[in-house]
Amino acid sequence: MRILVDTNRYRDFCENIPEALEVFQRAEQIAVPFVALAELRAGFMAGNRGKENERVLNSFLNRRRVLVLLADEQTTFHYARLFFQLRSQGTMIPVHDIWIAALAVQHNLPLFSRDGNFEHLPQITRL
């Protein structure tokens, strides 16, 4: 199983939440969206354990099964379609979540997240 991981589920993994540990252990590949990395690092800067959190994150990112997903030109088309869909539905969600959703659609990856915003996008497979 390949998965796309949202910020909150990475944090669950770091906090040894059993549900997250199980999914991370089963995954053949764990894709981390660039947006989730930005959110994590912003949180690290705001906290008092930034260097330790960055060390743990870098160790995680260096695992063979972990891949950082960056946006490319194709991602922008998926983003635009999802943005338009949400606007038409009258259910806007945070911009970062639209980028994460666009990467999930583009790479056909199920999303591992606790965020309810993604429920407005039925084309996103959720774990």
**Residue 125 falls inside a structural domain:** no
Residue 85's domain comprises 2-120
Helix boundaries (H) for the chain: 7-14, 18-26, 34-46, 50-61, 73-89, 95-106
Q: Give the pLDDT confidence score for residue 47 in this predicted structure.
A: 84
**pTM metric for this prediction:** 0.93
31-56 residues labelled b (16+ CB within 10 A) or e (exposed): bbbbbbbebbeeebeeeeeeeebeee
**Residue 127 falls inside a structural domain:** no
Q: Give the pLDDT confidence score for residue 32 in this predicted structure.
A: 98
**Residue 126 falls inside a structural domain:** no
**Residue 49 falls inside a structural domain:** yes
Q: What's the number of domains the chain is made of?
A: 1
**pLDDT 10s digits, 8-57:** 999 999 999 999 999 999 999 999 999 999 999 999 998 889 899 999 99
| Cα gap 92→108, rounded to integer Å | 22
**Residue 53 falls inside a structural domain:** yes
Burial of 59 (0-12, 13-18, 19+ CB in 10 A): exposed
Give the CATH number, domain containing residue 14: 3.40.50.1010
**pLDDT 10s digits, 54-108:** 999 999 999 999 999 999 999 999 999 999 999 999 998 999 999 999 999 999 9
